[in-house]
Amino acid sequence: MASTVDPMVMEGVQLMLVGMGTVFVFLTLLVFAVRAMSALILKYFPPAPFQTNTGAASPGGIPKAHVAAVAAAIEKHRGS
């Protein structure tokens, strides 16, 4: 039984598969490289502990300076 597919089409499909395989391998290696770099960064430069400033915040958790700034902005907007 003879093949009815044009040889140019088969070469095109082969080239497409090689190209897609190359891109897939490259992106896979890129993912592993980024994960390895991230692990190295976290190992040698751990994140600083997060510190909250609880003395300057109102009971709602919003700093008093922010509340005052928003209130002043609202007053200025209503006055214009």
Where do the domains of the chain lie? 8-47
* Mean pLDDT (the chain, rounded): 87
How many CB atoms within 10 Å of residue 57? 15
State the pLDDT confidence band at 39, using cuts at 50, 70 and 90: very high
State the pLDDT confidence band at 21, using cuts at 50, 70 and 90: very high
Displacement of CA 40 from its chain's centroid (Å): 18
CB 56 within 8 A of CB 64: yes
State the pLDDT confidence band at 52, using cuts at 50, 70 and 90: low
Highest mean pLDDT among 33-37, 45-49, 56-60: 33-37
Q: What CA–CA distance (Å, rounded) separates 10 from 13?
A: 5
Please tell me the pTM assigned to this model.
Answer: 0.53
The dihedral over CA atoms of 14, 15, 20, 22, expressed in degrees to the nearest 10, equals: 110
